[in-house]
Homo-oligomer: A and B are copies of this chain.
């Protein structure tokens, strides 16, 4: 194992358990209630939280609010330009899948019963993609959500305290048999196993999704990946709190 440690090198020189440099910029744009630019290395996602009066039909007269999310890549975000989904007239399965994941993850960070019958729309638009866009999106969206909740409270719309403690997300994966944290595109595309972990500040899982893209994985490898993910999420939560000044 030691030999392996010494010879294994990540393309960007990071240690296997090291996050890329993380930047969270609040107030990135001014129209939405919350607007954040989050950067995990070269991955850059604009995350906004917009507030709308009323709730979808299935929540009407429940006294509760709702939170929903949409994820999208700008066409020139990737190395090769990708066709714009609005022009194709169809949203890709991958986009739907990630939008749903972000929605579930952020609903774990909000107490809908404290929100009143309001809807929060999270939008995560990837300006530049270099792996980990969904985990960056979740991490940044929490901060946008926190800002939006403050706006709601300051407007007197929200009676209670809907914001729950932070939720953050990170990817881990198995590269050449080594467990690595926070994969950039180059690693992600050749990883044997790719896992996204969404965690609360209390260290509990909101969601885990692990996929053996080019192989399968056992309980032991799963354990190692979760250890790394936990470390990564704790650091990301610290960054979220620093950004929020709490």
Complex alpha-carbon distance, A70 and B81, angstroms: 12
Q: A125 contacts the other chain (Cβ, under 8 Å)? A: yes
| A156: Cβ under 8 A from any B Cβ | no
Contacts of A96 in B (CB 8 A): 92-93, 96-97
Q: Mark A197-208, 1 if CB is under 8 A from B, else 0.
A: 000101111111
- Asked if B76 and A50 sit within 8 Å, CB to CB, the answer is yes
Quick check: is A123 within 8 A (CB to CB) of the other chain?
yes
Task: Indicate if the CB atoms of A93 and B100 lie closer than 8 Å.
Answer: yes
- For residues 87 through 143 of chain A, which have their beta carbon under 8 Å from a beta carbon of chain B? 87, 89-97, 99-100, 104, 108, 121, 123, 125, 127-129
Residues of B within 8 A of A150 (CB): none
Kindly report how many copies of this chain are found in the complex they form together. 6
- Measured between beta carbons, the chain B residues less than 8 angstroms from A222 are 205, 208, 226
Do B50 and A72 touch (CB < 8 A)? no
Are A128 and B29 within 8 A (Cβ)?
yes
Q: Specify which of B76, B99, B108, B205 is in contact with A48 (CB 8 Å cutoff).
A: B76
- A51 nearest in chain B by CB position: B81
Chain B residues positioned under 8 Å from A100 (CB to CB): 93-94, 97
Q: Which DSSP category, helix, strand, loop or mixed, fits chain A's interface?
A: mixed
User: Could you say which of B85, B97, B127, B205 contacts A212, with CB atoms under 8 Å apart?
Assistant: B205
* Assembly CA distance A226 to B222 (angstroms): 11
Q: Which residues of B contact A85 (CB under 8 A)?
A: 86
Segment at the B interface, from A1-9, A54-62, A213-221: A213-221
**A33 nearest CB across to chain B (Å):** 9
Contact of A29 among B76, B208, B213 (CB under 8 A): B76
Closest 6 CB pairs of A and B: A93-B96, A204-B216, A85-B86, A48-B76, A50-B81, A86-B86
Can you give 20 A-B contacts (C-beta < 8 A)?
A31-B76, A46-B127, A50-B75, A50-B76, A70-B84, A84-B86, A86-B86, A86-B91, A89-B89, A93-B99, A96-B96, A96-B97, A125-B125, A200-B216, A204-B218, A205-B212, A206-B212, A206-B216, A208-B222, A209-B209
